[in-house]
Amino acid sequence: MFRATVFQLLLVLALGSFAYYLFDNTLTNLDQRGISTGFGFLSNEAGFGIVQSLIEFDETHTFGRTFLVGLLNTLLVAGLGIVLATLIGFLMGVARLSHNWLIAKLATVYIETFRNIPLLLQIMFWYFAVLQPLPRPRQSIDVGGTLFLNNRGLYLPAPLFEQGFGLVFTAFAVAVFFMLRWARLRQERTGQPFHGVLASLGLLIGLPLLVFFAAGAPLGWELPALTGFNFTGGMVIIPELAALLLALSIYTAAFIAEAVRSGILAVSHGQTEAAYALGLRPGMTLRLVIIPQAMRVIIPQLTSQYLNLTKNSSLATAVGYPDLVAVFAGTTLNQTGQAVEVIAMTMGVYLTISLSISTFMNWYNKRKQLVER
């Protein structure tokens, strides 16, 4: 025991000494080259614009603001990508096990095709081969006078939330919460399932609509309009975001589909036969019996794919999407020359996001584990 403790202390001292050497050597080299260190550059004026920003930004804002803009854009594409990849992946994973020959083969072709083509090539395909050839703004594809699709993006009406609209969101959330809670208690008491999703949709038309009109209909719409050579007003999904999101979702969904398939196959076929013997239909058997048991196999693989998708979003620089790598580790680094600080902050952000996803998925995995009695 004493020997093991000594060896562990020596290892910690060796690692600490090595880290100190690297840190001291870096500072010495930077000082010899006349490169200043520190994070004071974050308060300097950026002097460049960003094509997409979820918060207010222009050339007069600071480099610290560019960091925040890039971070939010990264979180946006990662969050949307995880949701879309999960939906597509579960659908394709189940479809590959379908008894319908055509559906199963189409799902197989999708999975084997997209997971074997490099992600970077898929991003470039969607951007250069699909989105860039779209017509110019003056020749936009018009959908009902409200949606306009061209090579600069998809222009949509932007909602204008007025005072009192928060009450509608609150009414909807409260109604859904109590309805789902009531449905769970009812099933525990009677054993009969209640379709909480359908009830929630009913409440969306009921109580929230009542609150909406009682608050004076506090919602307006700003429509996009062609002004000169481009559209103004409304909201736009830029082609860089669309290409990156499509590629990330479709590519990652192929791996998630295989995880779902392996999870379902890991469940004993006797579980399916027992559910059929109780009179459950195939859809209900899959939802209530197979998937809950398969999740213990699916979730660990889902965690890896979510982490891969988040890190792969850094390939946005290939098409010019203003994520953290492009805006901060690219333009900001080139203008300030603070390589150590910029790269360290960028690495820290991706590490924090990845650890947060991993922590949440591990917690979720523990909740879904089967408890043996």
Confidence of residue 255 (pLDDT cuts 50, 70, 90): very high
97 to each of 15, 109, 116, 263, 301, how far by Cα in Å?
A: 50, 13, 20, 11, 18
pLDDT at 218 over 50: yes
User: Exposed (0-12), middle (13-18) or buried (19+): which is 304, by Cβ within 10 Å?
Assistant: middle
105 to each of 93, 97, 260, 303, how far by Cα in Å?
A: 12, 9, 16, 27
- How far is residue 215's CA from residue 199's CA, in Å, rounded to a whole number? 23
According to the model, what pLDDT value does residue 271 have?
84
- Is 171 part of any domain? no
According to the model, what pLDDT value does residue 201 have?
65
Report yes or no: 305 and 52 within 8 Å, Cβ to Cβ: no
Across the range 84-110, mean pLDDT stands at: 94
**Mean model confidence pLDDT for the chain:** 86
According to the model, what pLDDT value does residue 308 have?
95
DSSP structure class, residue 98: -
Pick from 144, 145, 107: nearest CA to 231: 145
**What is the H or E stretch that residue 74 is in?**
helix 63-96
- How far is residue 34's CA from residue 22's CA, in Å, rounded to a whole number? 18
- Is 173 part of any domain? no
pLDDT digits (tens, 9 = 90+) for 25-75: 777 776 776 667 778 888 889 888 888 888 898 888 999 999 999 999 999
According to the model, what pLDDT value does residue 200 have?
60
Claim: this prediction has a pTM higher than 0.75: yes
pLDDT digits (tens, 9 = 90+) for 162-175: 787 777 778 777 77
- Is 203 part of any domain? no
Confidence of residue 260 (pLDDT cuts 50, 70, 90): very high
- Which CATH number do you get for residue 315? 1.10.3720.10
**What is the H or E stretch that residue 141 is in?**
strand 141-143
Among residues of the chain, what percentage have pLDDT more than 90? 38
pLDDT digits (tens, 9 = 90+) for 118-145: 999 999 999 999 999 999 988 888 888 8
Across the range 322-335, mean pLDDT stands at: 90
According to the model, what pLDDT value does residue 373 have?
46
Across the range 181-187, mean pLDDT stands at: 73
pLDDT at 370 over 70: no
Confidence of residue 281 (pLDDT cuts 50, 70, 90): confident
According to the model, what pLDDT value does residue 323 have?
92
- Is 180 part of any domain? no
Residues in contact with 144: Cβ distance below 8 Å, sequence separation at least 6, in sequence order: none
According to the model, what pLDDT value does residue 195 have?
60
Report yes or no: 208 and 179 within 8 Å, Cβ to Cβ: no
Going along 283-343, which residue ranges are E strands?
none
pLDDT at 197 over 70: no
- How far is residue 261's CA from residue 305's CA, in Å, rounded to a whole number? 15
- Is 234 part of any domain? no
- Is 29 part of any domain? no
Query: Looking at the 3D structure of the chain, how many domains does it have?
Result: 1
- Is 92 part of any domain? yes
Measured over the CA atoms of residue 131, residue 134, residue 137 and residue 141, the dihedral's sign is negative
According to the model, what pLDDT value does residue 199 have?
60
Tally helices (H) and strands (E) across the chain: 14, 8
Segments forming the whole domain that contains residue 340: 65-138+253-368
- Is 274 part of any domain? yes
125 to each of 155, 310, 354, how far by Cα in Å?
A: 22, 20, 27
